[in-house]
Structure 1
């Protein structure tokens, strides 16, 4: 089997030179442009965002919905029993650790930034109908669920599944290029493969940087609330430097000791904070509305997911919200996909998709109901009853989106302790997102090496911090959104081709179940060593030899 050629490049001991150099040149050019032409960069980012989101918003919507359709098909298809690895293999990580790493990589800071703010924003200024009404409250929860629901995890799941399948079943490198093998064949080791991996690095970098920028904005809001520290760009750049250094320390500890351990802590703190809000908040309302919100979401998910504003005569809302989200998640998907594939060996396709789709979504829906739903409920009660004073949550969102969750905590006891816990959680999400992304980018730029050199990971972690600082200086939240949309568009095209290639690959992997012996055999084209190793290790010990066929 061919491999991606890797070698030393200056201080970096093991890189794929075409991918590493192309990615580094593109990213450094972006850094120079943003740093030395700040005002021009802000204008260019805004124009690029407007052009792509308005002209190609329909394309993002189509790709995301196709990912959902394909996920549902694979769950019920004959391919669901195929295991990502040898057919007798057990999962590498226990379910709790797997969920923790999956959740940390997949959402992270965005959960804390938007969990309270987004429902409040849509309640205050809905895209349809009047604001601050019962109807706008329900619509606000539906839209928030759409942006963080099964569509998000279908994007992640399809990219991760394609990577895991071609790596663990076909013995190809754990790299985006491998997912196109059924279409490109050996050409994945040439310029086409280099191009695809470079696009993945570019998308990953700016998707993650968007999240890191949001995290720093919110940390600064929390520190201002807790200690009176000024909320300005200088403080934010200092925060980026400090937290990037922490991410570097986590990287040096490796996957199991660093990322896995921090992910486990994140899950524990998430449960603590969620329990705090549910128990000391409007508990009955949270559980009642959680059930109703799921019902409303399932009833409206298809029309909302296919809504393009074509009859409203304007497309400004979609470009700032749904299209931004789809582009953001797609730009994140190479990073999350590679990382989730790396931790998912041994799971069946059905188990993998069900886990990726349902487990994080259930937690997210409860989170949005507890934080955003409670905030909307408080404002709604204040609006309809003159005896109830408004907690000022809508005004907080209007003034500073990242401050919404801290303003909500002012309505709870132990405000300072809760605020401090949220800041710690944001820092930990920041660190796990940064070191996970650096780990993945280094894998992509080192030819799919699942244990790339640490010095290269540190280089990419530092680069993420520099770009986040430049984007914040060049336009704040608007520049972050523009970067996500621009970087997500080319990879949306790759993702569409990837899903087709996965179906092509699965069609050549026929699973035969010997029920009496409870034994599985994979009948493949045997183009790669992994298939041969599987037959050598298991087939001769098990049922009769299966005749190969094309």
Structure 2
């Protein structure tokens, strides 16, 4: 399958590189040799080390993570702010009229389906996990309070909601948007392979097909596989906590492995069905279930508190977005490093995966339409979601209701503890478990498509067995980490993924320059 648009012949770069020219075929796979082989060796070396020496690996990698966060907090914060400003500027600049795929390109998916896939791949599972835990943690001072506000006060409530939204609003989606727009533009408008290295062609030229490009793609593969494997492992722990809470099923390693196997099996079926019959279908189902669950909680919960939380959240976000974005003279070090800088490094480490997936489903959109959708729509959805779940949770904390009355004890149980104080607990808890699992399937499925594309040198029509291989490997890695080292091993690999966020931040800044240069070169084609 070609990445070129119908009128790409007058837009593409003059490069002799052809998609798949460096690929090798073996055991039914069609892979880019330097990227696939090197990535596989590094991944297996890390996994084996984490399984054999989980505590040592965690200590070493947590040290590397801490060094990155503590010494380069200013770099992460400045970069995050620049990504937001860059995306907002592109919305208003004339280059916002450029259409991904050329002037004649048409969107391949309906707007609703497109939104659903953006959200499911981007952070749907994270919102399930943290929409209750995070506001409660900030309000009660479980691990620091934002801007050193006194815990359990009206000011703490506003900052708890505002800081939660800060971590799930414009900044993370701007990070995803930079990568996604770069990949989509250079693949669909310039005829380059749909892989990370292509975004740097305006600056490095033909060198991107050599060692520089290999390094960029390998870094993206490692960050993606580590991020997906740790999320699958930690997600299994949350799902089993929910099953234990609801059905009294033992929260054991065996149960966690069964959950991972079930998620992986469904992901294999989904990835075998392809983008249309897999991720697209599940994403639509996800958003319907999520919407019904949110509406259900509004009806059966404290409706007044929930509507009040919308205003509290928006006001807290708007009032505090600049203080929370500041990196100079911060006195709330525990919160600042433990939450905000950690999140920025985590979002950046996930940006190759989410960005490439968004790029794959966004052909036919204008740059302006793309950025408005990727930045603003998920942010508005997150406002509503956080207000419903976080607002309900804080209402329970403030009124001494249920298990959350004493504050946060276990982040993986927080959502189910909030459900426990609402009517029809069993029903909404079961829906919550289903939603968590389906979100994990869509993450695994879309992640497999992305890793497959990178390791296949940008090919979008690699053999189906190859996509299945990556889906299976993600499950095997998660199980191996749980069995071999448990939370220590998962924490070690997560720390490795976050550490990778540091060099990738620099790459993203370079990517912004490259994207601007590429977009500016196409301004004369608008409307032709």
Contact 1:158 1:499 in 2 (8 A): yes
Q: Matches of 1:295 and 1:318 in 2, distance apart?
A: 20
**1:3 corresponding residue in structure 2:** 18
User: What is the CA distance between 1:209 and its match in structure 2?
Assistant: 2.5
- Note closer, same or farther for the CA distance 1:261–1:503 as it changes in structure 2 (3 Å cut): same
User: What is the CA distance between 1:173 and its match in structure 2?
Assistant: 0.6
User: What is the CA distance between 1:133 and its match in structure 2?
Assistant: 1.3
**2:3 corresponding residue in structure 1:** none
Task: Single out whichever of 326-335 and 43-52 deviates more from structure 2.
Answer: 43-52
Q: Matches of 1:413 and 1:212 in 2, distance apart?
A: 30
**2:226 corresponding residue in structure 1:** 206
Q: Matches of 1:254 and 1:212 in 2, distance apart?
A: 21
User: What is the CA distance between 1:192 and its match in structure 2?
Assistant: 1.1
Q: Matches of 1:345 and 1:325 in 2, distance apart?
A: 29
- Note closer, same or farther for the CA distance 1:311–1:120 as it changes in structure 2 (3 Å cut): closer
Are 1:175 and 2:199 counterparts? Answer: no
Q: Matches of 2:405 and 2:230 in 1, distance apart?
A: 24
Q: Matches of 2:259 and 2:500 in 1, distance apart?
A: 25
Contact 1:439 1:452 in 2 (8 A): no
1:330 to 348, 354, 366: 348
**2:9 corresponding residue in structure 1:** none
Are 1:93 and 2:93 counterparts? Answer: no
Write out per-residue CA displacement over residues 447-504 of structure 1, whole angstroms, 9 at most, x where no aligned residue. 1111222222222222222333355415277446523312322211211111111111
Task: Single out whichever of 255-264 and 241-250 deviates more from structure 2.
Answer: 241-250
Write out per-residue CA displacement over residues 220-274 of structure 1, whole angstroms, 9 at most, x where no aligned residue. 1101111112223342233222211221121111110011100110010010111
User: What is the CA distance between 1:404 and its match in structure 2?
Assistant: 0.7
- Note closer, same or farther for the CA distance 1:295–1:317 as it changes in structure 2 (3 Å cut): closer
Are 1:484 and 2:504 counterparts? Answer: no
2:522 to 497, 502, 509: 509
Q: Matches of 2:150 and 2:259 in 1, distance apart?
A: 39
1:250 to 257, 260, 270: 270
**1:425 corresponding residue in structure 2:** 435
Contact 2:51 2:489 in 1 (8 A): no
Task: Single out whichever of 122-131 and 424-433 deviates more from structure 2.
Answer: 122-131
Written as runs of structure 1 = structure 2, the 5 A alignment for 1:211-230 is 211-230=231-250
Q: Matches of 2:502 and 2:323 in 1, distance apart?
A: 23
1:263 to 257, 268, 283: 283
Contact 1:61 1:326 in 2 (8 A): yes
**1:240 corresponding residue in structure 2:** 260
**2:446 corresponding residue in structure 1:** 436
- Note closer, same or farther for the CA distance 1:474–1:150 as it changes in structure 2 (3 Å cut): same
Q: Matches of 2:406 and 2:270 in 1, distance apart?
A: 38
SS in 1 for 2:29: strand
Are 1:413 and 2:423 counterparts? Answer: yes
- Note closer, same or farther for the CA distance 1:104–1:85 as it changes in structure 2 (3 Å cut): same
Write out per-residue CA displacement over residues 282-304 of structure 1, whole angstroms, 9 at most, x where no aligned residue. 22222232133212211211221
Contact 2:163 2:316 in 1 (8 A): no
Q: Matches of 1:471 and 1:149 in 2, distance apart?
A: 31
1:19 to 35, 51, 55: 35
Q: Matches of 1:240 and 1:429 in 2, distance apart?
A: 13
Q: Matches of 2:454 and 2:444 in 1, distance apart?
A: 15
Write out per-residue CA displacement over residues 137-172 of structure 1, whole angstroms, 9 at most, x where no aligned residue. 111111100110010110111100000110111000
- Note closer, same or farther for the CA distance 1:97–1:336 as it changes in structure 2 (3 Å cut): same
**1:341 corresponding residue in structure 2:** 359
Written as runs of structure 1 = structure 2, the 5 A alignment for 1:254-293 is 254-293=274-313
Task: Single out whichever of 130-139 and 225-234 deviates more from structure 2.
Answer: 225-234
Q: Matches of 1:507 and 1:449 in 2, distance apart?
A: 27
Task: Give the structure-1-normalised TM-score.
Answer: 0.88
Number of corresponding residues: 505
**2:411 corresponding residue in structure 1:** 401
Contact 1:101 1:259 in 2 (8 A): yes
Q: Matches of 1:463 and 1:319 in 2, distance apart?
A: 32
Contact 2:196 2:454 in 1 (8 A): yes
Contact 1:82 1:511 in 2 (8 A): no
Q: Matches of 2:390 and 2:497 in 1, distance apart?
A: 24
Of the two, which has the highest radius of gyration? Answer: 1
Q: Matches of 1:118 and 1:218 in 2, distance apart?
A: 15
**1:536 corresponding residue in structure 2:** none
2:471 to 461, 465, 468: 461
**1:372 corresponding residue in structure 2:** 390
1:352 to 364, 370, 374: 370
Task: Give the structure-2-normalised TM-score.
Answer: 0.92
SS in 2 for 1:397: coil
Contact 1:65 1:151 in 2 (8 A): yes
User: What is the CA distance between 1:9 and its match in structure 2?
Assistant: 4.2
Contact 2:178 2:512 in 1 (8 A): yes
Q: Matches of 2:43 and 2:494 in 1, distance apart?
A: 17
Contact 1:207 1:483 in 2 (8 A): no
Are 1:66 and 2:82 counterparts? Answer: yes
Q: Matches of 2:58 and 2:405 in 1, distance apart?
A: 28
SS in 1 for 2:107: coil
